[in-house]
Structure 1
């Protein structure tokens, strides 16, 4: 008799992110230490984990992929064997022209410390009185989805406002994702926490995929990180406190739910990225 696939252990880092880059590197080290103590396979940090200003993030917060923050993540992942997904701000493209803008991105680092992928946020937060596009340039909508294999699960990554666009998550699932990961700095406001929770569960149910939503906490953002199974059952839910928590995701459960509810096979529409 053979054993089934092993659960994948995920540590959620619901943290406050500062403008001070050294402070944020210390936060990342603390989170990795906690993930190591929990014997996690994957650590997820929020959007903008390398630096955040509630008034807006832009070129002043950017550093390259070979800069101190991503280098720290890669070295730590390589030494601990813990994969990492984290939000960072990268320099923008010179070809984009003035005014200078940055890129809101996620890095996926595998357990060997290799940079497995970089997702550049497609849907900029030009809503609810904010305009990310004043300071940031969007990622190309037709870029290949970014996924990270950890154990027997494939994690697909998207960022914050992307959560409001179900076709984005469906495209990542079409690329093989069993788990959808949403690092976020979900801005607080009327009904915003309700939207966050409702949409995370909807993305889980409609895609028969587990969901990991990791919200930055602190002034102006909601926190409220959440982990749910592929049937929308909540496994972990946080308030607004700064904390680290760990949950196990079971590959067998994803397979079981997809057998019982083959909605991905039954659908009649495909996702086609917009051009321009």
Structure 2
């Protein structure tokens, strides 16, 4: 039960063509069946100042999304790419999944950053996704950026059957304390006994690493902070365990997830 992950630490500017070129370079370093990760906002662009959304070419973004889908099909990879997404009359912060089969899937960030709330709409679901591998299905849960601060979301995904967490972020603040977000990633892996596949943008102010963490909390590989680069790691999914979660005192404290109400006809 081995899975290979390719992580691309790239810039996330507002030029869609430049972003596409960077994405293609990362995918070129992958192999068929790889799980490929690109940062939050990697396709559309992203920055603390979201005012460029007002003039972002929606048609060009839609075309670029189709282009990325084609890249995933041609290379035979499972590609997770962050993008701001116009849909239903609103903008969302999303993680887009593209399968070699042509299938697509979207996770919409449920816990928005302060700068996002006036501009973006929050998602309302924490789904898992089955990613086909030669040995069977890898079940993943996806989280975006500041959602690293909410361990209950990750625990819910683990309890829902996730073997690994796909984490896309755009974390580059000079005000962030050094090492805190790295510690969060290690904790999310160890406390849930799941793999963490994490990717951040390439930025000299980067305060969260791009790395792979084992269910034991071991950092298996990590890219240098601030540098453009790609890493590829193969992991053994038999290391995933419910040993810790199975010992929770759920008779004393439990978490309950309430899915959003479905609209009536």
Under a length normalisation based on structure 1, what TM-score does the superposition of the two structures give?
0.83
Q: Which range is displaced more, 58-67 or 68-77?
A: 58-67
Count of aligned pairs: 251
SS across alignment from 2:121 = coil
1:263 aligns with 2:258: no
Provide the residue aligned with 1:97 in structure 2: none
Provide the residue aligned with 2:221 in structure 1: 236
Q: Structure 1: any 5+ residue segments left out of the alignment? A: 95-100
1:206 aligns with 2:206: no
In 2, Cα distance between the equivalents of 1:65 and 1:170? 37
SS across alignment from 1:213 = strand
Provide the residue aligned with 1:48 in structure 2: 41
Higher helix share: 1
Provide the residue aligned with 2:131 in structure 1: 149
RMSD: 2.4
Q: How does 1:109-258 map to 2 (within 5 A)?
A: 109-115=98-104, 117-126=105-114, 131-140=115-124, 143-151=125-133, 152=136, 153-218=138-203, 220-222=205-207, 224-240=209-225, 241-254=227-240, 258=241
Residues 104-152 of structure 1: CA distance to partner in whole angstroms, max 9, x if unpaired?
A: 000112232210x2100011112xxxx2112211111xx2514232424
Provide the residue aligned with 1:103 in structure 2: 92
Higher strand share: 2
SS across alignment from 1:224 = coil
* Aligned residues of 1:62 and 1:102 also touching (Cα < 8 A): no
Provide the residue aligned with 1:86 in structure 2: 81
